[in-house]
């Protein structure tokens, strides 16, 4: 979906933004002992001195969190040190709504695309392939259509962060529009990989609305332009396309001010989104809430005391915290610790009830219209067959 992921894979293989898979990094930390770490630190200092970029630890690493744990993050927020929080989200925040992510083994989209007979799983989101054969994308779009799902606890937690005056911006890789459905204002959202909200004709660039697109997707037809008959594509960013300009302009303004970064439900494998973690200032704490560690720094770079990416496990770390588990549980736990737990539970309950009610009303409005339409449709087919 994101243009640069493909480039990244071509140059750096299957690994994450930082060039090392989380599996490799977490395995090394599992078996690490304090003796190993001491030896590693000695080698790091030796190499750093020889290469001429040695700095004393105290100069290099100001202490940011008293405690690199969830409690350290909560304390940091409660002390009022966080006024420009940025959240970065991936497909993992929507899996509990029933939308599969890309890479989770078994349930991820990439493991379930056989029926589309694609040259490779990513082809379904490639602009070149889409121009030749748009049908598989629209079949999948019907299955995953926004509007058929309810936002999760995590989406409502992000809304609460905003209502509490902490959120500067929410950056999402998701195209499911669930942040909007959850009630987060549009100006607070950066949809880095675009959105289903609007669509454009690939040929004459005519714009179409969500309802126009929805009608065609659910009628199982490839949407074509009313003016020039070109294929119309939702404004989501395919591999081979540029990210929206709003992404770049917001990053420039937001990240230098970021004073807490929370990454939710992402493997941090897609560029340039993944590298945003390095745009936050050095003194900004970063919390990852995900089922697995992601975005970690290259081991060699850790050894040299250099490089970018998350650094959860080194003894010098005073800013990066990984909370491993489901986003909804992580967000509810954070809300509980901040004293907003009941407010979040109430918000989710009320909003889900409202969405269910609206869907019911919409369905009951449609039914009489459909039964009115049927004899007409039947008449048409009868006359054609005669």
The catalytic residue positions are 193
Among 195, 267, 275, 314, binds ligand CNA (CB under 6 A): 267
Please, what is the minimum distance in Å from the beta carbon of residue 194 to ligand CNA? Answer: 8
Decide: is 257 part of the binding site for ligand CNA (CB under 6 A).
no
Report whether 258 belongs to an annotated binding site. no
Q: Is 99 in the site for ligand CNA (CB under 6 A)?
A: yes
Token code pair at residue 270: 């897609």
Torsion (CA) 36, 41, 46, 48 in degrees, nearest 10: 140
Residue of 167, 270, 331, 348 that binds ligand CNA (CB under 6 A): 270
16 makes contact with ligand CNA (CB under 6 A): no
Could you give the CA distance from residue 382 to residue 34 in angstroms, rounded to a whole number?
Answer: 81
Is 174 assigned a ligand-binding role in the annotation? Answer: yes
261 vs 384: CA distance, rounded Å: 61
**Residue 280 tokens, joined:** 């936050």
Report helix, strand or coil for 166.
coil
Residue 344: which of 160, 111, 75 has the closest Cα? 160
> What is the distance between the alpha carbons of residues 273 and 171, in angstroms, rounded to a whole number?
9
Which stretch, 170-178, 219-227, 296-304, 374-382, contacts ligand CNA (CB under 6 A)?
170-178
What's 150's DSSP letter?
P
Q: In the set 323, 326, 338, 348, which binds ligand CNA (CB under 6 A)? A: 326
Candidate ranges 42-50, 217-225, 288-296, 339-347; the one touching ligand CNA (CB under 6 A): 288-296
Give strand pairing partners of 290. 324
Does 341 interact with ligand CNA (rule: CB under 6 A)? no
x-or-dash string of contact with ligand CNA, 222-251, rule CB under 6 A: ------------------------------
Q: Which is nearer to ligand CNA, 182 or 327 (CB)?
A: 327
Distance in angstroms between the alpha carbons of the first and the last residue of the chain: 47
Give the range of 72-80, 94-102, 162-170, 334-342 binding ligand CNA by CB under 6 A: 94-102
Nearer to ligand CNA, 311 or 326 (CB): 326
* Number of separate helices (H) and strands (E) present in the chain: 14, 9
Q: Which residues between 173 and 202 bind ligand CNA (CB under 6 A)?
A: 173-176, 193
Question: What is the per-residue DSSP string for 51-95?
Answer: HT----HHHH-----SSSSHHHHHHHHHTT--SSEEEEE-GGGTG
Sequence-separated (6 or more) residues with CB below 8 Å from residue 209? 198, 199
Output the known binding site for Zn(2+).
201, 204, 225, 228
Q: Which residues bind ligand CNA (CB under 6 A)?
A: 1-2, 90-92, 94-96, 99, 101-104, 108-109, 173-176, 193, 265-267, 269-270, 290-292, 294, 326-327
């Amino acid at each position: 979906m994101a243009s640069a992921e493909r480039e990244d894979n071509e140059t750096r293989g299957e690994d994450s933004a930082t060039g090392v898979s989380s599996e490799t990094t977490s395995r090394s930390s599992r078996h690490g002992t304090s003796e190993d770490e001491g030896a590693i630190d000695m080698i790091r200092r030796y190499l750093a001195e020889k290469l001429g970029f040695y700095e004393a630890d105290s100069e290099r690493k100001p202490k940011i969190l008293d405690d690199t744990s969830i409690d350290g993050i909560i304390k940091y927020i409660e002390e009022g040190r966080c006024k420009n929080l940025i959240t970065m989200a991936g497909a993992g925040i929507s899996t509990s709504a029933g939308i599969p992510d890309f890479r989770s083994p078994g349930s991820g989209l990439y493991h379930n695309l056989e029926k589309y007979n694609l040259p490779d799983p990513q082809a379904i989101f490639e602009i070149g392939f889409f121009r030749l054969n748009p049908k598989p994308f629209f079949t999948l779009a019907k299955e995953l259509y926004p509007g058929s799902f309810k936002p999760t606890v995590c989406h409502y937690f992000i809304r609460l962060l905003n209502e509490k005056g902490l959120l500067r911006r929410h950056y999402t890789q998701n195209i499911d529009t669930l942040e909007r459905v959850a009630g987060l204002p549009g100006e607070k959202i950066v949809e880095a990989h675009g959105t289903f909200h609007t669509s454009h004709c690939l040929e004459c660039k005519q714009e179409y609305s969500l309802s126009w697109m929805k009608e065609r997707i659910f009628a199982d037809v490839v949407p074509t332009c009313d003016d020039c008959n070109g294929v119309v594509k939702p404004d989501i960013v395919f591999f081979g396309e540029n990210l929206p300009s709003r992404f770049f302009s917001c990053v420039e303004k937001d990240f230098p001010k970021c004073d807490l970064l929370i990454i939710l439900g992402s493997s941090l494998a897609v560029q340039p989104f993944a590298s945003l973690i390095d745009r936050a200032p050095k003194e900004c704490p970063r919390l990852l809430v995900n089922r697995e560690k992601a975005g970690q720094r290259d081991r060699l770079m850790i050894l040299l005391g250099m490089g970018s990416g998350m650094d959860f496990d080194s003894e010098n770390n005073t800013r990066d915290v990984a909370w491993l588990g489901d986003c909804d549980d992580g967000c509810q736990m954070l809300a509980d610790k901040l004293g907003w737990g009941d407010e979040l539970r109430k918000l989710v309950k009320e909003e889900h009830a409202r969405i269910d009610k609206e869907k019911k009303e919409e369905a009951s409005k449609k039914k009489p219209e459909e039964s009115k339409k049927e004899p007409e449709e039947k008449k048409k087919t009868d006359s054609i067959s005669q």
